[in-house]
Amino acid sequence: MIANESSIADVNPVPLTSLDEWEEDVIKRYPDPAQINKDKSEEEFRNYEEPARDGVKEFYRLNHTYQSYDFVMEKRADYLKFDKREMPIWSAFDFLNQLVDDSDPDTDLDQMQHLLQTSEAIRNDGHPDWMVLVGLIHDMGKVLCLFGEPQWAVVGDTFPVGCAYSDKIVYPEFFVNNPDFANEKYNTKLGVYTQNCGLDNVHMSWGHDEYVYHMMKDYIPEPGLYMLRYHSFYSQHRENAYDHLMSPHDHEMFKWVALFNPYDLYSKNPNQKTWAELKPYYQDLVAKYLPANLKF
Ligand SMILES: [Fe+2]
Ligand SMILES: [Fe+2]
């Protein structure tokens, strides 16, 4: 596995055995409602109650400790220049697939398969083709890992920085270690923002969502951009913890984020068609919306 932890964290073991472990933990927090009363033994239900593996907890400790306002600004200044490399989306998927971890017995899907499971489930339900494309590319920002970013700056629930951290965010107790926790510029309910200022004026913790949003913002319709940008913002799209920052337009657009979320979490189809079968459709779809080369 490629998991480059920065020097501030190198006294600890790698928190997640693979990037997928974070998403598996999200599913434990938000089990598929369609499966809750079906095919689940009591024992499986009990598994949802089990405390997260220590690695997941350690992952959130690092994430909540280091995702401060200044950290986010630094990452934005670096990555939003998009001067790292230029490549066709297909090379980016190959690049992403280097994240496959064969030491993790629970992870039998590579990143590309998760993307195809998501996009195919969206396509099968008859949604617009740009939403199918969103399914295909929504986790492409995980290439950040391959640029040397630690796991806690690539995946995990996202949340606003520059204002008080909500206790609806998973493991809120770890925010006491964040330098912004005691900074009165940032630790009030609104912090540096104004009431209902709209999320476009709010800085989110740094990760694959914000990165892919900026990469795609000139190419995809607005509801799709909301799906990309806020798909890991569980404390809002599942818990409504940041209504005070949301504009009426954000609320309208979050209906699309809510529509997308189950496809990301629960679309596991054992009879998935092969990439060879699906390729012609996706080549046409990508060519319809995206340029031949993307900047990273
Ligand atoms: Fe994601
Ligand atoms: Fe995903």
Mean pLDDT of all residues belonging to the chain:
88
Residues 6 or more apart in contact with residue 292 via CB below 8 angstroms: 88
* 50 CA from centroid of ligand 1 (Å): 23
pLDDT of residue 8: 43
Q: Which ligand is in closest contact with the Cα of 114?
A: 2
| Token reading at 115 | 């993307």
Structural contact between residues 60 and 153, judged by C-beta atoms closer than 8 angstroms: no
As a whole number of angstroms, the distance between CA 107 and CA 57 comes to 19
Question: Could you tell me the residue ranges of all domains in the chain?
Answer: 11-295
Q: What are phi and psi of 293, to 5 degrees?
A: -120, 140
- pTM recorded for the entire structure: 0.88
248-287 confidence digits (pLDDT tens): 999 999 999 999 999 999 988 888 898 889 999 999 999 9
* 139 CA from centroid of ligand 1 (Å): 5
As a whole number of angstroms, the distance between CA 119 and CA 268 comes to 11
Select from 120, 118, 158, 131 the least CA-distant residue to 255: 131
As a whole number of angstroms, the distance between CA 202 and CA 265 comes to 25
* 14 CA from centroid of ligand 2 (Å): 21
Instruction: Return the H-helix or E-strand segment holding 87.
Output: strand 86-87
125-145 confidence digits (pLDDT tens): 999 999 999 999 999 999 999
Which amino acid is residue 227, in one-letter code? M
For 125, how many CA atoms within 13 A lie in the half-sphere containing its CB?
14
